[in-house]
């Protein structure tokens, strides 16, 4: 099997479109490109213009035999659909064979989240006696207090901070800009890190474009390092839940809704493009309420 050269050129153009116009992250770009390339390899020398709904359905049957999860299959379909929408927009095709084909329904798994006590236990067990330990605690507290994605936090530069107003500007998926808010305690700990601790890790410039969180070489702290530091703390306290930086984001959203925050406000703070992505947290809150009710009500 090979790839039709004309189709490969279309894929190259699609990648440029995702990168330059859609501002896809490198991770998402690689996933979409790999999904479409796999499809083109399967199609072999068939011209992309000659693939109809029946042929696309055959591909879905093919990948359905490969023991992929429903989530993976849904992503592959989404990648190929985006590719065909691009081709249609560029007037390369006059019919989109993916329009009438539905993928598998994904099982909705409720996000894992932490209670206030669990968060405080994690924070209390970060060893802040070292500069990097203090930095890590500030990072974990910031994730919990703001609902930021880990990539948004690691990407922070000094120009993004407006600590006088307890505001931080972040750039989310698709380079969309939004403001997140932080409480006074988190602000003071962040200021302490900047003013007293950062130079102990590595003395670096603090220009507008310089990173806030750095490693011992003065370079921007990477997502992998943050995940590793959190995993070490969680393993040491033997917390039964799986905890990742994204769990802090889930916990942030769940806590706001449990305390009566408007769904639209939570959507804005999380940077969700669709409120449907935020609504899953209402299910978490309801489940939490049911659990508390069953544990405390005498007739439950």
Residue 54 annotated among the catalytic residues of the structure:
no
The single residue of 173, 178, 227, 231 carrying the catalytic annotation is: 173
Q: Is 149 one of the annotated active-site residues of the chain?
A: yes
Catalytic position from the list 187, 249, 250, 255:
249
Is 246 tagged catalytic? Answer: yes
Length of the chain: 300
Residue 48 in contact with residue 92, Cβ under 8 Å? Answer: yes
Q: Which of 214, 230, 216, 261 is nearest to 143 (CA)?
A: 230
Question: Annotated catalytic, 299?
Answer: no
81 is catalytic: no
- Give every CB contact of residue 13 below 8 A, 6+ residues apart in sequence: 86, 90
How far, in Å, CA of 113 to CA of 246, rounded?
9
Give kind and range of the element (H or E) at residue 257.
helix 245-258
Q: CA-CA distance, 198 to 201, in Å (whole number)?
A: 5
Active site residue 249: yes
Q: What is the DSSP letter of 48?
A: G
**Active-site residue (options: 76, 149, 187, 255):** 149
- In whole angstroms, give the CA distance from residue 209 to residue 224: 22
CA distance 230 to 264: 30
What's the N-to-C CA distance of the chain in angstroms?
A: 61
Task: Say if residues 29 and 18 touch (Cβ distance below 8 Å).
Answer: yes
Question: Which of the residues 22, 178, 220, 246 is marked catalytic?
Answer: 246
Output the six-digit token pair for 41.
Answer: 């390899």
Q: Which residues are designated catalytic?
A: 149, 173, 246, 249, 272, 281
């Amino acid at each position: 099997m090979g790839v039709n050269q004309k189709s490969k050129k279309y894929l190259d153009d699609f990648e440029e479109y995702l990168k330059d116009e859609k501002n896809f992250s490198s991770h998402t770009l690689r996933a979409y490109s790999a999904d479409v390339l796999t499809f083109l390899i399967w199609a072999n020398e068939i011209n992309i213009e000659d693939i109809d709904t029946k042929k696309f359905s055959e591909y879905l049957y093919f990948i359905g035999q490969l023991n992929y999860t429903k989530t993976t299959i849904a992503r592959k379909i989404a990648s190929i659909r985006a590719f065909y929408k691009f081709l249609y927009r560029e007037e390369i095709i006059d019919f989109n064979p993916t329009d009438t084909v539905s993928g598998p329904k994904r099982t909705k798994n409720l996000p894992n989240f932490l209670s206030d006590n669990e968060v405080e236990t994690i924070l209390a067990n970060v060893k802040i006696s070292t500069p990097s330990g203090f930095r890590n605690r500030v990072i974990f507290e910031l994730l919990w207090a703001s609902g930021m994605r880990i990539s948004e936090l690691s990407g922070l530069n000094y120009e993004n901070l407006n600590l006088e107003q307890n505001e931080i500007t972040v750039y989310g998926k698709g380079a969309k800009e939004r403001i997140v808010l932080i409480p006074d305690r988190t602000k003071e700990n962040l200021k302490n890190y900047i003013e007293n601790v950062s130079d102990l890790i590595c003395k670096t410039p603090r220009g507008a474009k310089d990173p806030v969180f750095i490693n011992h070489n003065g370079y921007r702290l990477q997502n992998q390092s943050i995940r590793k530091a959190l995993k070490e703390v969680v393993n040491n306290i033997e917390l039964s839940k799986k905890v990742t930086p994204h769990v802090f984001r889930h916990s942030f959203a769940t806590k706001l809704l449990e305390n009566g925050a408007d769904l639209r406000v939570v959507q804005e703070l999380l940077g969700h493009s669709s409120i449907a992505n935020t609504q899953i947290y209402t299910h978490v809150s309801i489940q939490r309420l049911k659990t508390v009710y069953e544990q405390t009500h005498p007739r439950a």
